[in-house]
Amino acid sequence: MSELLRAELVRVAERLGADGIEFVLERPRDAGHGDLATNLAMVLARRERANPRKTAERVVGALQLPAGVVARTEIAGPGFINFWLAENQLVAAHRRILAEGGRYGWAESGPGLKVNVEFVSANPTGPLHVGHGRGAALGDAIASLLEAAGQRVTREFYINDAGVQIDRVAQSLWARIRQETGLPAEIPEGGYHGEYLRENARAVLAAEGPEFARLPDDEGVRRCRALALRIQREEQDRDLADFGVRFDVMTSEQAVYAAGRVDRALDLLAERGLTYESEGALWLRTTQFGDDKDRVLRKSDGSLTYLVPDVAYHLDKADRGFDRAIDVWGADHHGYIPRMRAVLLALGLPPEFFEVELVQLVKVVRGGEEVKMSKRSGEFVTLRDLVDEVGVDAARYFFLMKKGATPLDFDVDKAKKQTEENPVFYVQMAHARLSGIFRTAEREPESVTGDLDLGALSAPQDTELLKTIVAFPEAVAKAAREREPHRITAYLHDELGPVVHGWYHHTRAVGAPEGPATEQSRLLLARAARIVLANALGLLGISAPDRM
RNA sequence: GCGCCCUUAGCUCAAUUGGAUAGAGCAUUUGACUACGGAUCAAAAGGCUGGGGGUUCGAGUCCCUCAGGGCGCACCA
């Protein structure tokens, strides 16, 4: 219905000689300002240096809407135009919720963009930490939101298995294997000291036999490289699977090299005249594309910087036909964005192709104190430890409560509470209570069908609940457009949750004192609200329990 | 030194991207169950949006400046 109104406003704007003008049509914060409001008249007036209220009168006078859509129009404040929708619009919207069910909130538009969302992409050097968990929750939710917005999404994980970090973990594992059998060995400089490598060492010895530790160092390290990679990858995959995250594509850096893509990327840059030799190194003119200094591609020792495989990998994404490559990165990589963007622009990719969503640090707090490490990792809190303590639902919800770009204090005590202080509990409780209504009624929600009788929904809480659930698709579209899942947690906790609890508290569905027509309509309302709660939670990867 | 992000109620955070009277939760105070789960609800109180200047019908949001905090500035990944 807002689409219809928007289209008509666009038509009026064109008639008033303002083609393509940008204006806002949205649900006002204050319900006293109508169901929908637009600033069109003020934008027009600014352009024409006219009185906004007079312009608003012209706009309203030119509107031609079919009967039964808008009940009332008002010009208010500095020149806002407020619309009250006709009641039958709400009945129709409710009908749509029941009809679409689990897909309510999803865009109707046809095949959208092909989007690649790359996230987590942890080095295969150890278990995932809580920061990876936040990236996983955020990337997965952004992917789900984009799917809901009608786009074709691929969830991808990039395995950095060709760099020096994997050498270090191989050397570290080799040292632990020797230590386990009483042979002298030291963890190398920059190596990994976590307890988990001791576990891995014991597992390798159990599988390969104790003589494995007596191999020459170079062969031992070489074999440890493959073993460490496999062991760490398997553990990360388990961590992710248990966190409810599933990837469509795992791409390995080694495979990017093996396919010749890295050499091809270098050739392509050279062909375009973007590289030059200086001081024995090969440089890229990223400054021509907005970077603050040129960057080295091949160091004077002949090895490549990590920029080269990263560029090759993103070219590969473009070759695979993606319109967008959205990368979820740790915030410590933000300095790396300009040069990546510069290179991709230089290679002729459109500026909107490459997008980065940053994830800030997670500080785990228990009893008011920061928790700095887990026993197993030795240096960070693992995702598994956190999930074991608070559960997947609470972990995901807390990770998604704030914008990714702001630092997060994860309050473990609060996440475990079974009271309203815990936002995820509060929201899930709303769903469980609605389910409870149907238990009491001894009916399946799906068996309650038909249209709402607005005349029978006499309580103000009825109307409030109806308007709140009808606003859900707009919230999804906005969250997808902005890549901001926290808008959905905010919708759940600040809007829908309180409205459901308030409705439940103040009105009665089963055995409604107003009579059977009211009971029927309230059951229909409860069924619809339950759908919206479940869909919103589902987008975030959180369960919607019927009992708690 | 340069660049990016941040500073909003006692605390943790929002604010429809420049809109109407800056909103939630926690904490505090007061009240509400013989009813679908009181694991909840209703209400009160809490603010010079870090300071100052500017842009305009209109600024938490944009620009300048000052103060405070975080991160980044490799021929590391």
- Measured in angstroms, what separates residue A406's CA from nucleotide B24's C1'? 18
Contact between residue A140 and residue A102 where contact means Cβ atoms under 8 Å apart: no
For residues A309-325, give the mean pLDDT: 94
Quick check: A548 CB within 7 A of strand B? Answer: yes
Query: Using 50, 70 and 90 to split pLDDT, how confident is the model at A323?
Result: very high
Name the residue with higher pLDDT: A516 or A111.
Answer: A516
For residues A82-99, give the mean pLDDT: 92
Q: Is the pLDDT of residue A111 over 80?
A: no
Q: Is the pLDDT of residue A245 over 90?
A: yes
From the number of C-beta atoms within 10 Å of its C-beta (0-12, 13-18, 19+), residue A23 rates as middle
Backbone angles phi, psi at A391, to 5 degrees: 90, 160
Whose CA is nearest the C1' atom of nucleotide B16?
A26
A293-297, A519-523, A542-546: which has the minimum mean pLDDT? A293-297
Looking across all nucleic acid strands, the nucleotide with the smallest C1' to CA distance from residue A547 is B37
Residues 168-227 of A with CB under 7 A from strand B: none
- Measured in angstroms, what separates residue A127's CA from nucleotide B15's C1'? 38
What pLDDT is stored for residue A110 in this prediction?
64
Amino acid at A476: V
Query: Whose CA is closest to A224, among A266, A267, A258, A176?
Result: A176
Task: Give the rounded percent of residues in chain A with a pLDDT score beyond 70.
Answer: 99
For residues A294-301, give the mean pLDDT: 90
Cα distances (Å, whole numbers) of residue A516 to A138, A195, A394, A513: 45, 65, 39, 8
- Measured in angstroms, what separates residue A472's CA from nucleotide B46's C1'? 31
Q: Is the pLDDT of residue A387 over 80?
A: yes
Contact between residue A129 and residue A120 where contact means Cβ atoms under 8 Å apart: no
Looking across all nucleic acid strands, the nucleotide with the smallest C1' to CA distance from residue A411 is B12
Structure tokens at A479: 């969250």
Q: Is the pLDDT of residue A238 over 90?
A: yes
User: Residue A314: enclosing H or E segment and its boundaries?
Assistant: helix A307-319
Name the residue with higher pLDDT: A225 or A362.
Answer: A225
- Measured in angstroms, what separates residue A422's CA from nucleotide B49's C1'? 27
Cα distances (Å, whole numbers) of residue A527 to A101, A133, A445, A459, A495: 10, 33, 6, 17, 18
Query: Using 50, 70 and 90 to split pLDDT, how confident is the model at A316?
Result: very high
What pLDDT is stored for residue A310 in this prediction?
93
Quick check: A248 CB within 7 A of strand B? Answer: no
Q: Is the pLDDT of residue A239 over 80?
A: yes
For residues A229-253, give the mean pLDDT: 95
Contact between residue A181 and residue A205 where contact means Cβ atoms under 8 Å apart: yes
What pLDDT is stored for residue A50 in this prediction?
78
Question: What is the C-alpha to C-alpha distance for residues A228 and A216, in angstroms, rounded to an integer?
Answer: 18
The whole-chain average pLDDT of chain A stands at 89
Query: Using 50, 70 and 90 to split pLDDT, how confident is the model at A290?
Result: confident
Quick check: A238 CB within 7 A of strand B? Answer: no
- Measured in angstroms, what separates residue A254's CA from nucleotide B10's C1'? 54
Whose CA is nearest the C1' atom of nucleotide B24?
A494
Residues 324-343 of A with CB under 7 A from strand B: 331-336
Residues 435-454 of A with CB under 7 A from strand B: 436-437, 439-441
Quick check: A296 CB within 7 A of strand B? Answer: yes
- Measured in angstroms, what separates residue A526's CA from nucleotide B27's C1'? 32
Contact between residue A461 and residue A502 where contact means Cβ atoms under 8 Å apart: yes
Name the residue with higher pLDDT: A250 or A464.
Answer: A250
Looking across all nucleic acid strands, the nucleotide with the smallest C1' to CA distance from residue A49 is B57
Q: Residues 6 or more apart from A209 whose CB is under 8 A from it?
A: none
ipTM given for this complex = 0.87
Contact between residue A526 and residue A434 where contact means Cβ atoms under 8 Å apart: yes
Looking across all nucleic acid strands, the nucleotide with the smallest C1' to CA distance from residue A440 is B36
Query: Using 50, 70 and 90 to split pLDDT, how confident is the model at A539?
Result: very high
Question: What is the C-alpha to C-alpha distance for residues A204 and A401, in angstroms, rounded to an integer?
Answer: 41
A140-149, A283-292, A369-378: which has the minimum mean pLDDT? A369-378
Quick check: A478 CB within 7 A of strand B? Answer: yes
Q: Is the pLDDT of residue A101 over 70?
A: yes
Whose CA is nearest the C1' atom of nucleotide B37?
A433
Whose CA is nearest the C1' atom of nucleotide B58?
A78
Count of other CB atoms within 10 angstroms of residue A59: 23
Query: Whose CA is closest to A147, among A195, A95, A176, A111?
Result: A111
A7-11, A373-377, A472-476, A522-526: which has the minimum mean pLDDT? A373-377
- pTM for the complete prediction? 0.93
Task: Give the rounded percent of residues in chain A with a pLDDT score beyond 90.
Answer: 49
Question: What is the C-alpha to C-alpha distance for residues A33 and A162, in angstroms, rounded to an integer?
Answer: 59
From the number of C-beta atoms within 10 Å of its C-beta (0-12, 13-18, 19+), residue A120 rates as buried
Looking across all nucleic acid strands, the nucleotide with the smallest C1' to CA distance from residue A75 is B20
For residues A205-228, give the mean pLDDT: 95
> Given its phi and psi angles, is residue A101 left (phi above 0), alpha (psi -120 to 50 degrees) or beta?
left
Nucleotides of B under 7 A from a protein CB: 3-6, 12-17, 19-21, 23-27, 35-42, 56-58, 70-77
- Measured in angstroms, what separates residue A47's CA from nucleotide B54's C1'? 22
Query: Whose CA is closest to A437, among A516, A499, A501, A504?
Result: A504
Query: Using 50, 70 and 90 to split pLDDT, how confident is the model at A77?
Result: confident
Looking across all nucleic acid strands, the nucleotide with the smallest C1' to CA distance from residue A292 is B3
Quick check: A33 CB within 7 A of strand B? Answer: yes
- Measured in angstroms, what separates residue A349's CA from nucleotide B75's C1'? 27
- Measured in angstroms, what separates residue A49's CA from nucleotide B24's C1'? 38
Q: Is the dihedral of CA A181, A183, A188, A194 positive or negative?
A: positive
Give the DSSP per-residue string, A447-470: G--S---GGG--SHHHHHHHHHHH
Question: What is the C-alpha to C-alpha distance for residues A344 and A132, in angstroms, rounded to an integer?
Answer: 26
Backbone angles phi, psi at A119, to 5 degrees: -150, 170
Quick check: A27 CB within 7 A of strand B? Answer: yes
Quick check: A278 CB within 7 A of strand B? Answer: yes
Whose CA is nearest the C1' atom of nucleotide B27?
A421
> Given its phi and psi angles, is residue A86 left (phi above 0), alpha (psi -120 to 50 degrees) or beta?
beta
Name the residue with higher pLDDT: A215 or A292.
Answer: A215
Quick check: A281 CB within 7 A of strand B? Answer: yes
Query: Using 50, 70 and 90 to split pLDDT, how confident is the model at A1?
Result: low
3-state secondary structure A143-155: HHHHHHCCCEEEE
Quick check: A418 CB within 7 A of strand B? Answer: yes
Quick check: A31 CB within 7 A of strand B? Answer: no
For residues A225-246, give the mean pLDDT: 95
Q: Give tens-digit pLDDT for A485-505.
A: 888 988 898 889 889 999 999
